[in-house]
Structure 1
Amino acid sequence: MTTLKAKLHDDLTTAIKARDELRSSTLRLTLSAIAYEETAGKSARELSDEEVLKVITREAKKRREAADAFEKGGRADQAERERAEGEVLATYLPKQLSDEELAAIVGEAVAEAKAGGAEGPKAMGAVMKIVNPKVAGRADGSRVAAEVKRLLAG
C-alpha cells in the first residue's frame, strides 16, 4: 500500500473513532474512488502516490463544482457541506500556488515558447506543455489556462 493511501486509511480510522462524520464520510468516498481506479481497466493494480494524488485532486474538484452548483440552485446548506468536504481533501494536496507564483511560472513558459517560435493562439498549446509539469497538482487547470491566455494576449 502506498504511503498516501495508508495515511488516508489511518486518518479514516482516527476520524471514525473520533466520531467525525464529515471527515470519515469524505475519506470513505475518496478511498472508494481510489479502489475503483485500482480495479478499472483490464487488470487490478496498486496506484502510486502520484496517481492517488490525482484521484484526490479530482475528488476535490468535484466538491468545488458541486458546491457552485448547489449555491446556484439555492441550496446553501448542501453547498457548505461540499466546501467542507473539499477542505478535508485539501489537507492531502500540495500547497496551491499563489497568483504571483503562477504568473511567474507562466511568464517564463511564455518566453520559452516564444523563443521556440510559437506565436499567437497556437502558442497556447506550447505554453501549456511547458507549464503543466511545473505546476502539476499545485494549481487548477482552469486557473493555469486563464493565466496563459492573459499573458499571451498582453
Structure 2
Amino acid sequence: MENTLRDRVNTALKQAMRDKDAQRLATLRLINAAIKDQEIAARATGGEVQLSDDDVLTILGKMTKQRLESVRAYEEGGRIDLAEREQQEVAVIAEFLPKQLSDEEVDAAIEAAIEETNASSIRDMGKIMGVLKAKYTGQMDFGAVGPRIKDRMTS
C-alpha cells in the first residue's frame, strides 16, 4: 500500500523500469538520490533518518526551482534541447507535488496567516511565513510570497 511520498516515487520508478522509459527513470532516480542524500545528512547530524513527506516536498520544491532556473538559462543561451529536457524533468517532479495554489488562494492564505499570527508590521513576516510553510509546503512559491507579504504589510 502506498502511503508516503517516497513510496509513490519508488512505485513510479519501478513502473518506469517496466515501461523502459529512460527519461522518466532518470528523473525518478535523481529524486531518490536527493532523498537519500538528505537522509545521510540527517544521520550525520544525529537527526531523523526517515524523512517525512514535508521533508520530501521541500526537496522536490528545490529540485523544481533548480530546473526552472536551468530552463531559463538554457533558453537564454539558445539551448532549447536542454531546456526541453529540464522541462520534462519538472513535469515528472510535479506529479508528486500537491496542486499549486492560484494567486487568489495564495492571497487568501496570506490573509489567514496574518490574522492567525495577529501580525501588524513587516517585523512579523517570519511568523507569517512560518504559518504558510507549515500549511502549504509544496503548494506555493515562497520566494514569490515574500514580496507579496511585504506589499500587504506596508500598505
TM-score, structure 2 normalization: 0.83
Distance verdict in 2 for CA 1:31–1:143, change over 3 Å: same
| Residues 33 and 55, structure 1, Cα contact 8 Å, conserved in 2 | yes
Q: How many residues align?
A: 151
Deviates more, 1:57-66 or 1:23-32: 57-66
Aligned partner of 2:13: which letter? L
Which one of 39, 61, 65 corresponds to residue 69 of structure 2? 65
Q: How large is the Cα RMSD of the aligned pairs?
A: 2.3
TM-score, structure 1 normalization: 0.84
| Residues 70 and 76, structure 1, Cα contact 8 Å, conserved in 2 | yes
Distance verdict in 2 for CA 1:123–1:35, change over 3 Å: closer
1:1-154 matches, cutoff 5 A: 3-40=4-41, 41-42=44-45, 45-111=49-115, 115-116=118-119, 118-119=120-121, 121-154=122-155
Aligned-residue sequence identity (percent) comes to 36
Q: What is the rounded CA distance, in whole Å, between the counterparts of 2:4 and 2:116 in structure 1?
A: 36
| Residues 63 and 85, structure 1, Cα contact 8 Å, conserved in 2 | yes
| Residues 2 and 47, structure 1, Cα contact 8 Å, conserved in 2 | no
Distance verdict in 2 for CA 1:126–1:53, change over 3 Å: closer
SS at 1:67's partner residue? helix
Tell me by how many angstroms 1:2 deviates. 6.7
Aligned partner of 1:7: which letter? R
Deviation string, structure 1 residues 21-58 (Cα, Å, up to 9, x no partner): 21100001110111111111245822222222222222
5+ residue gaps, structure 2, are none
5+ residue gaps, structure 1, are none
Distance verdict in 2 for CA 1:52–1:112, change over 3 Å: closer
Distance verdict in 2 for CA 1:42–1:20, change over 3 Å: same
| Residues 113 and 132, structure 2, Cα contact 8 Å, conserved in 1 | yes
